[in-house]
Structure 1
Amino acid sequence: MKIVILSRNPKLYSTKRLHEAGVKRKHEMLILDHTKCDLIIEKKKPAIVYNNELITDVDAIIPRIGASVTFYGTAVVRQFEMMKAFSVVESQALVRSRDKLRSLQILSRANLGLPKTVFTNYSKDTSEVIKKVGGAPLIIKLLEGTQGLGVVLAETKKAAESVLEAFNGLQARVIVQEFIKEAKGADIRAFVVDGVVVGAMKRQGKEGEFRSNLHRGGTAEIIELSEEEENAALKAAKVMGLGVAGVDMLQSDRGPLILEVNSSPGLEGIEKATQKDIAKSIIRYIERNV
């Protein structure tokens, strides 16, 4: 099979591992920078040109689209879909997952546990917003943030009001969420491939850090999910329409609470924590569907 990995950096761990796993299983693997793909839109003849070469006969694609280039990256994925290539992450699901607010609404409609969240249209009544999530401490998140960037823990009502006023003044869209104290700065990432949890890890924020992202110095260890946690992860990936997903959850007194469903989850943390070949699982997912 001819499989294209859409990635801006061939040296990234995830890109390299997917390439290795595909070659090992005797596939022709190509790495293309989606931001450098030209799309030709014509009646019944959609085409993609890369470095002045026509890209043809692609069986499947693995999108690794960064949040900053979601718009163009999704257009490239859609073009490959029009050319009848199977995509590990469908263009519609990619768009859905990148919209944090829409994602939370979809998860809420599916009756999944979530931290209480408030979104307003730059409301001046910050104290009322704070009250709606149960007061301080609370979490304030930029709708565009990734890898823990743009996430603030406001420990007091005064601090929360200052941060909200600052973001509102910058016309930055934010959501306000209740702080889950019993999670103790840790979260769980469940890695779902084709309706199966292929690996799970518990990420712990470093001392004095409430964000558990590995990019921010957090640590990870393998974890066995409870039945409730596994079901929540599978249901979240399914309602988001994602064949491959990293589902981030908090352990709370009222069960698992979904934080986010990631459509381009990194492989490094999960493979090192679980010692599992997740890249191979993704290649096998393609083999089953093409």
Structure 2
Amino acid sequence: MKFAILSRNAKLYSTRRLAEAARDLGHSVRVLDPLRCYMRIANDDFQMHYKGRAMSGYHVVIPRIGASVTRYGSAVLRQFELMDTFTPNPSDAILRARDKLRSHQMLAAQGIGLPATVFGDNPDDTNDLLSMLGPPPHVIKLNEGTQGAGVMLTEKLSASRGVIEALRGLYAQFLVQEFVAEAKGADLRCFVVGGRVVAAMKRQAPKGDFRSNLHRGGRARGIKATKAEQDVAIRAARVLGLGVAGVDLIRSARGPLVLEVNASPGLEGIEEASGVDIAAEIVSYSAQRHKRRAAKRAAAKRK
């Protein structure tokens, strides 16, 4: 089977592991920089070129699209979809997951637990907005931040107002959430592939910080998520339409709460912590889905 991996850097751990897993499982694979892909769009023809050559015949494309190239990368992925290539994470699902406000609205509408969240635009409404949330501490997040960047904790109401005013002055989009103290600076990453939690890890924030991201110095160890946690993670990925997702949860007095659903989750930390070959899980799932889709289409043609 012919695989493509959309990634800006073939040497990144996650990209390299996916390529290795695909080759180990007998597939051909090529890493493509999405910014070097360019397209012809017509009502009777969709074409893709890469560095001066036409591309076609790919059975599966696995997106590893960074936040900085979300818009163009998702357009490239959509072009692959229009050229009948299977992807475990469709372009529209990636766009949903990258927009924290949109994804929170979608998850909450399906009854999935989240920290209470408020969002507003006009500075005149800041005081009432914060009163809707409740007393501090508050967690303020940039709408499209990743790896813990753009996440701030404010412990006083005046600090919350000051940060909000500063972000509005920069025309930044952000959310404000309740701080769940009982989580004690820890969260869970459940890695969902094809409607299953294939691995999970618990991440603990370093002393003096509340962000548990490994890129921020957090520590991780592999765990077995509870059934309730697995169910929430699987539902969250399904609501956003993702076949592969890293679902971040915190344990609270009212059950597991979803912090974020990552459409391009890193493999290094969780493979090391859990000992699970997640890259092989992703490749195997993608190949199986492509085969099932092809078999369905062949059966439909025979009727």
* TM above 0.5: yes
- Counterpart secondary structure, 1:4: strand
Match of 1:22 in 2: 22
Give the drift of 1:226. 1.3
Q: Distance in 2 between matches of 1:2 and 1:35?
A: 21
Match of 2:283 in 1: 283
Match of 1:7 in 2: 7
Match of 1:204 in 2: 204
Q: Distance in 2 between matches of 1:248 and 1:221?
A: 14
Match of 1:227 in 2: 227
Match of 1:243 in 2: 243
Give the drift of 1:25. 0.6
Match of 1:265 in 2: 265
Alignment-mate amino acid for residue 254 of structure 1: R
Q: Which runs of 5+ in 2 are unaligned?
A: 291-303
Alignment-mate amino acid for residue 120 of structure 2: T
- Counterpart secondary structure, 2:141: strand
Matches within 5 A, 1:16-95: 16-95=16-95
- Counterpart secondary structure, 2:123: coil
Q: Distance in 1 between matches of 2:269 and 2:133?
A: 32
Give the drift of 1:46. 0.8
Give the drift of 1:200. 0.4
Please identify, of 64-73 and 37-46, the stretch whose mean Cα deviation from structure 2 is larger.
Answer: 37-46
Match of 1:183 in 2: 183
| CA contact 2:60–2:287 (8 Å) conserved in 1 | no
| CA contact 1:122–1:173 (8 Å) conserved in 2 | no
CA shift digits 1:143-192 (9 cap, x unpaired): 12111111110011121111111112222111110000011111111000
| CA contact 2:123–2:165 (8 Å) conserved in 1 | no
Match of 1:155 in 2: 155
| CA contact 2:120–2:126 (8 Å) conserved in 1 | no
Alignment-mate amino acid for residue 166 of structure 1: A
* TM-score, length of structure 2 as denominator length: 0.94
* TM-score, length of structure 1 as denominator length: 0.98
Alignment-mate amino acid for residue 147 of structure 1: Q
CA shift digits 1:88-138 (9 cap, x unpaired): 211111111111111000000110000000001133343322222221111
Q: Distance in 2 between matches of 1:125 and 1:119?
A: 10
CA shift digits 1:46-94 (9 cap, x unpaired): 1111110111110000000111111100110110011110012111111
- Counterpart secondary structure, 2:266: coil
| CA contact 1:193–1:282 (8 Å) conserved in 2 | yes
- Counterpart secondary structure, 1:207: coil
Q: More helix by proportion, 1 or 2?
A: 2
Alignment-mate amino acid for residue 131 of structure 2: K
| CA contact 1:122–1:171 (8 Å) conserved in 2 | no
Match of 1:144 in 2: 144
1:194 aligns with 2:194: yes
Aligned length: 290
| CA contact 1:48–1:55 (8 Å) conserved in 2 | yes
Q: Distance in 2 between matches of 1:120 and 1:258?
A: 21
Please identify, of 181-190 and 167-176, the stretch whose mean Cα deviation from structure 2 is larger.
Answer: 167-176
Match of 1:165 in 2: 165
Runs of 4+ in 1 over 6 A off after TM superposition: none
- Counterpart secondary structure, 1:265: coil
| CA contact 1:142–1:151 (8 Å) conserved in 2 | yes
Taking only aligned residues, the RMSD between alpha carbons, in angstroms, comes to 1.0
Q: Distance in 2 between matches of 1:209 and 1:164?
A: 20
| CA contact 2:34–2:76 (8 Å) conserved in 1 | yes
Alignment-mate amino acid for residue 70 of structure 1: T
Q: Distance in 2 between matches of 1:124 and 1:175?
A: 16
Q: Distance in 1 between matches of 2:124 and 2:250?
A: 30
Q: Distance in 2 between matches of 1:195 and 1:144?
A: 25
- Counterpart secondary structure, 1:46: strand
